[in-house]
Structure 1
């Protein structure tokens, strides 16, 4: 099996992290930008189509006013009652109506160019037709079939109706007709005829042409029967086809449809006035072109960034692995008895530089120690010859004791060396145990009782739990409910871990079960800071609890004589209690509440912000 080097592992980890980061950021930015652009384009198209819808309704309403004027005109209403063969009455009313039409149209300049013709026709078959700007040498005639169609399709309640038709064959497809039924002179009479106004779509289309939809976008109108009103290029499509059915079914919503082998977005708005459906369409590809540009740019930037990051990762990995390899080679030489030092040419001040310095210091001390041991051994051999065999044995025992008196700094360096070997050998379990043991040892040998933070104590408990889990082979988690605002509150060193250890030794004598828990909480109230350690173990009997409370009230550390015959758990609780008092005063300490079968609650009570009294006493003693 091919051995994995540390440099390759670092490089692979960097590669995974960088690729995941770039892919995540690129995908997220592309999706978000695409959605934002789609939303903006959709809003823009909706605003344009709403504006066109509003302009169209406003435009048609002006013609409705003209239609109202004609339908309510007394001459128009009287024309509906003339006899079919009365030539004089027909001439008289037709002349009057044409003059009224000309005056009405010329009074409103905006209607002049857009109006194609106005015609009034009654049930008697006679009609009056006014052609605006007539350049044709023929007289349009309204046949009976057209009249019957208009009478049938126009509402009888006085509302207008719009038709895509013209009585002139030349104007078919280029005008829209607005029709309204007209009653006779008496308001009680039934509808007698039709007033119709033909409007040029070319002029009306100027408002629609303002809808800017890019090079590939277009605008069209479908009436409520599915017939295409505008533009003329769409009029050859069959009424009620798939596209018009989707428009009529969508109402005022947006939909995507494949039109002429191209996927397009359609935004539809139905006019409540004309019952027309105004629709704007743009290709989806054109809509998403900016998003595709963003995607391409993101991809290029991501590739360049990845290349630079991999190069930096390679350099970073080499800067870490190279000194570790040198340290490994030097340690192999040291194993052979060659005390080889590592030259730190760059005078590194980081962790690796500290490791090199510690290694050199360890080699120096080991060399001196072995030299001293060698000298002592020679002296012991001489003394053994003089003092005899018993004295020689005693000297050997003292020599063995001397060998064990390695200072903590050497032990830290040794643990760090073991940790390096664990990292190089990719042994996660040894790495975790050694790191936890090193932190606990470094934390424990600081013998002063000065305050530290709750976070420090929790970290010490975490290292203890790591070692405990590897020793027992079972996982168990402690529920830490301390509010974040209290993590920097002061407390006494090495008070929390002994209480946790006491719980594991006494609260769960039959082993830790899934329903068991240990909870750590804290609060500040009335100038006091309290830390609670609670479990749901076997609890204490009342007699045992009372005995333990009496010992806590004696306010003293456990004596050596007591330690010989007492269980370690009680000693740990008393020492925690007394050490809190030695730092903060006699008013504080440890209190215990417990019920058999329900668990135990231990409370450490300390002031919020008070300088430790032990410091003051030491200053006074000095």
Structure 2
């Protein structure tokens, strides 16, 4: 009622207002469509720019990862150095103090040769099992508790590499590895000491990622770099620790663009935290500018539309004034009513020039119009009298059904109920696409009526999996095919006839087949009907109607296919889509 009322108001409003509303609607629709397309394009663009920005930011992370791998390889090279292996093994033989001093000097010189070429190494130290220290580089004292922790960590790794993170006392990232003997013939991997490499992580990150303050190295809840964390790792979403990518986070009333990459070697997460506005401020500005430009265009077009509508409707208003005078019978004043401006040479001007001729014929037109309206009203009244109220028919069938049940006429009651169900589904065509289960209910009601007619001659079989009952199908698709089977396969003969509805699913479609054991049907009937080469009394029209409704609903890839059944009879196959998320076109139901 609301839509009809608005439609009536719009239909009876002034042309000027109609033009304004129409122009506003078209511009608003165009604006909405443009903004939607623009936002969709921007979303794709944003995703691409975010991804590329993340990849660029992660380049430095990969470079840091490569450098850490190289330093990890350095620890392995020192551990397997044959000279260091030999010197540390000789200490097991309890040499003299002089020999120990010589060995200490040799080991320190060897470590110095390694540390001297490494710009990111503070110092390299070896602690033998007796606690003796051999070192090179910038040495800082290590408290006994931390030293024991490092030795235990390296020992638990059994020769593998381990990291120890910076703390308040030592800003260095420490690489640990247990030195194990592999030169003796017993291959017992005897413990020769613990290798400690202190790495200047600040310098390493500063050289590779000079944008200081934007990179964080975290391992779980532990911050490896920098000393003063940019954010608490526990406050960040879990997605930043899950893998590679980017995340946009609101943190402390600031929007951050976080590019994150997880190291497969160390398990650390590299976080590049950059204020969102710093990178994407221009993009956000362009988006807002485009929206404002569209709104400005909308306002300008509306104003131009208002002016345009006034230029069209102003002469019409003058003409309406003349017509009102003519309506009152004052034709002389209608002709003398001055226009607001000289008549133009367009259609409105011509209309004004011919207005005098229109006045002379206006009485005749009114009379004819009035007579025509009376005729139309009379025709409509007669048409209403000729109509049958479906509710009256349903109520009558219900009364017959009730009387049959009272008189224990169960067959009559069943037929009336089936007929009422068929009528309701045939007349009520609001739902043109229904589930297969509902279509089968219509078929069963139809067969209930026919069963009383043909009795044992009609044998119906249903072989449809339960998984297909919810699939959509155009209404009144199967029932006309079953009716055709009864008409052409059962009626001409006195022998029993089997009618079967089968259902199955292939890799491309859902198939439903209506089979009978009658005389059969040529497989090219549909093609002949389309070419007009075959004349039928109703079956062909029904088949074409069903085929066209299926194609309109689901596409040209689906429809009917005719073939001979195995042995004898006819077989009509209905091909439907496996999955239908949205039905765009629905054909109207048509009679057979």
The alignment's TM-score, normalised by the length of structure 2, stands at 0.53
Asked if the contact 1:228–1:234 (Cα under 8 Å) also holds between the matched residues in 2, the reply is yes
Match of 2:473 in 1: none
Moved more, 181-190 or 298-307: 298-307
Q: Contact 1:30–1:294 (CA<8 Å) still a contact in 2? A: no
Equivalent in the alignment of 2:436: none
| 2:133 aligned with 1:127 | yes
The question of whether the paired residues in 1 share the 8 Å contact of 2:202 and 2:225 is answered with: no
Structure 1 match to 2:111: 101
Query: 2:21 aligns to what?
Result: 12
User: For residues 237 and 532 of structure 2, what CA distance do their matches in structure 1 show?
Assistant: 83
Cα deviation 1:486-544 (Å, max 9, x = unaligned): xxxxxxxxxxxxxxxxxxxxxxxxxx94469xxxxxxxxxxxxxxxxxxx9xxxxxxxx
Instruction: State how far apart, in whole Å, the 2-side matches of 1:23 and 1:308 are.
Output: 16
Q: How does 1:118-517 map to 2 (within 5 A)?
A: 118-131=124-137, 134=138, 140-141=140-141, 144-154=144-154, 156-165=157-166, 172-173=170-171, 175-184=172-181, 185-186=183-184, 187-210=187-210, 218-223=214-219, 225-234=220-229, 242-243=234-235, 246=238, 249-286=241-278, 289-335=281-327, 336=329, 337-338=331-332, 340=335, 345-348=343-346, 352=348, 366=361, 513-514=427-428
Is 1:22 the equivalent of 2:14?
no
3-state DSSP of counterpart to 1:594: coil
| CA displacement, residues 323-365 of structure 1 (integer Å, 9 cap, x when unaligned) | 32333344445553558499983211x5x5675577666568x
CA-CA distance at 1:201 after TM superposition: 1.8
Instruction: State the secondary structure of the residue aligned to 1:233.
Output: coil
Match of 2:401 in 1: none
- Partner secondary structure for residue 103 of structure 1: helix
| Change beyond 3 A, Cα 1:314–1:141 | closer
Q: Report SS of the residue matched to 2:205.
A: helix
CA contact (8 A) 1:122 1:193 kept: yes
How far has the Cα of 1:179 moved from its partner?
Answer: 1.6
User: Secondary structure at 2:304's aligned position in 1?
Assistant: helix
CA–CA distance in 1 between the matches of 2:65 and 2:15? 75
**Given that residues 240 and 246 in structure 2 are in contact (C-alpha distance below 8 angstroms), is that contact kept between their aligned partners in structure 1?**
no
Do the aligned partners of 1:49 and 1:269 also contact (CA within 8 Å) in 2? no
- Judged with a 3 Å threshold, the aligned counterparts in structure 2 of structure 1 residues 179 and 301 are, in CA distance, closer, same or farther, namely same
Change (3 A) 1:68 1:12: same
The CA deviation at 1:199 is: 1.7
Displacement, 1:48?
A: 2.9
Shift of 1:220: 1.0
Q: Deviations over 1:180-219 (max 9, x none)?
A: 111124332333321222221233113442459xxxx721
Q: For the pair shown, which has the larger CA radius of gyration, 1 or 2?
A: 1
> How far is the alpha carbon of 1:148 from its aligned partner?
2.7
The equivalent residue for 2:51 is: 43
Q: Contact 2:261–2:269 (CA<8 Å) still a contact in 1?
A: yes
Relative to structure 1, the CA distance from residue 49 to residue 313 in structure 2 (aligned partners, 3 Å threshold; closer, same or farther) is: closer
RMSD: 5.0
Give the equivalent residue in structure 2 for 1:445. Answer: none
Deviation at residue 280 of structure 1 after TM alignment: 1.0
Distance 1:233 1:362, change over 3 A: same
Q: Distance in 2 between matches of 1:362 and 1:590?
A: 56
Say whether the 8 Å CA contact 1:183–1:189 is kept in structure 2: yes
TM-score, normalised via structure 1 length = 0.51
Per-residue deviation, 1:165: 4.2
